Amino acid sequence: MNTGRRWFWGSFFIVGAVVLVLSQLGLLPYQFGFWRILFGIFMVAIVVFSLAHRGITGTVFGLAALVILFAKPLGVTALGPWTILGVALLVTIGLSLILNPHHYFNYHYQYRQTNNWHHGQQATERMTTDEAQTRVSVNMGTSIRYLQSQDFQRADVWVRMGDAKLYFDDVQLNPAGAVIDLNVSLGGAELYLPRTWPVKIAVDSNLGGVEEKGSHTPDAGPTVVIQGRLSLAGLTVVYV
């Protein structure tokens, strides 16, 4: 993360801490619970991150969550949570049709890959790794790793406000098995694993989600343990 972004996000969370303290001291016009304020701070972070990456869904639903959390001071208590979420869904669909974001992202993704274009630290990183133990660290960007290890043992994946994709379809496991340790917040991780690998998913999810895709037909080989923590993040395991 460059200096400007460090200052911005550092200042953002410091201001959030100040707001939290003022709220608990009763110095704000409206009084809110601790968790409501804390969740609101994270929702604002999601909205800012989504805007920076031109993410329609994250922006609209992040704003909808803020409206639900602070409906009283905003004067919209007549609107129930489901009404607000319904409006957010319709707005998301409408903006998606108008702006055609899939075309936008595909175009710029290809432009970044073919012209080595960078915008701050948000350019996509593509790497091939041939190591028994590897580490992936992503800050406000995207990392794509193709692993080709013949004795894979461990991968540590650290993501903050970004996305990481790891492809393991050209990997041989260590006979004792392997560990994929995740620490993902305000972002996502996608793991592409051979469908024959025995896999154990044991992640601690805090306001996050885990999804498995593809046909999983494990054999009697060594086991891969997927562990770690998700905070306002998502994990997708794709069996190929």
The full set of domain ranges for the chain reads 3-101, 123-239
pLDDT given for residue 182 in this prediction: 93
pTM above 0.75, yes or no: no
For 61-75, the pLDDT digits (tens) are 888 888 888 888 888
pLDDT given for residue 6 in this prediction: 63
Question: Where does residue 51 rank: exposed (0-12), middle (13-18), buried (19+ CB within 10 A)?
Answer: middle
pLDDT given for residue 120 in this prediction: 35
